[in-house]
Chains A and B, each alone.
Chain A
Amino acid sequence: MADNEFTHTNPEIDVHAMGEMHEHPTWKQYKWVALILTLITILEVWAYYMPAFVASPAFVPTLLIMSALKFAIVVAFYMHLKYDHRLFRGLFTGPLTIAMATIISLLFLFGKFAGR
């Protein structure tokens, strides 16, 4: 398949109203993103089935980092947040920060980090 450019030079699209500040990724980039996401998922599942790794203190942080990486990749490339207007970035990252702070605060309040 040809490496077609997904540029929005079509005059029928109001790129400004859609908040597109930069060109969106190409088909080739989307394909790589899908491959990277699949590989990270395979790594996560592989880690789950490694008893020695599951017992190690690195297990939970490693899985959280891999999950956060997948999350960031989808948001940046598939949701085009890397390429779109900064207002959209604020509308997403603001509530996301509050949401994550809420989770961490509640876990502290209910003693989930106690004794670690």
Chain B
Amino acid sequence: MATAVASHAHPPTSTGLDHRKIAIWAFIGSECMLFASLISTYLIYKGRSVVGPFPHEACDPPKCATHLNAILNIPVTSVSTFVLLMSSLFMVLALAAVENKGKPGYEGILGSSKLWLFMTALAGATFLGFQAYEFTSFVHEGLKITTNLFGSSFFTLTGFHGAHVTAGVLWLVTLLAIDIKRGLGPKDALLVDISALYWHFVDVVWIAIFTLVYLIR
């Protein structure tokens, strides 16, 4: 039994840093390049669609068979952006609750890691709900991934981001399940820290997408 417990401890490393934390930062670095390629593709194709619908401009005959409105819904996306930003706040509070569990001042709501993990996952799921609504309305308005260059690059970029958010929500739900089952404490701080880094990265990618895709015409 003692051997089993000892095997869970992280071995000493040449840097003194935990390999798992180095690995998540290296992973995030590689993800930067993945999203850079997707954003580049979107920006290169921007304004080169031959047929509508278009992101920021309406399309009228003869360019389009019928009148098509500008497709992007900025108010809805602004709300979903706010929700994702707030999820990052909930995530830092979840990490702080785990790190400070049992300390004076953390007995109440501030020390409830379950609450903050749940709120983060809920905010992530809400963001995905907004994205599902957006994609559905785009398809109903005639924009599919095969419609034009905007549709292809837009759905690929935001779809990849949505997939990352989905993975993050699943990760958070897993942590919440562990917290409910046995409780997360200071010894688990690194596990929560790693998931928090991933979650914040998903947030910063959306900060870039929101400006480059939705706001800049």
Contact = CB atoms under 8 A, between A and B. Distances in A.
B22 A106 contact: no
B190 A48 contact: no
Interface residues of B, number: 61
A25 B88 CA distance: 14
A112 B44 contact: yes
B85 A37 contact: yes
A57 interface: no
The binding surface of chain A is classed by DSSP as helix
B204 interface: yes
Contact of B186 (A6, A10, A41, A75): A10
Interface residues of A, number: 58
B207 A45 contact: no
A74 B88 contact: yes
A98 B33 contact: yes
Interface in B98-155: 99-100, 102-103, 105-106, 109-110
Contact of A44 (B105, B201, B211): B211
A74 to B, nearest CB: 5
B43 A88 contact: no
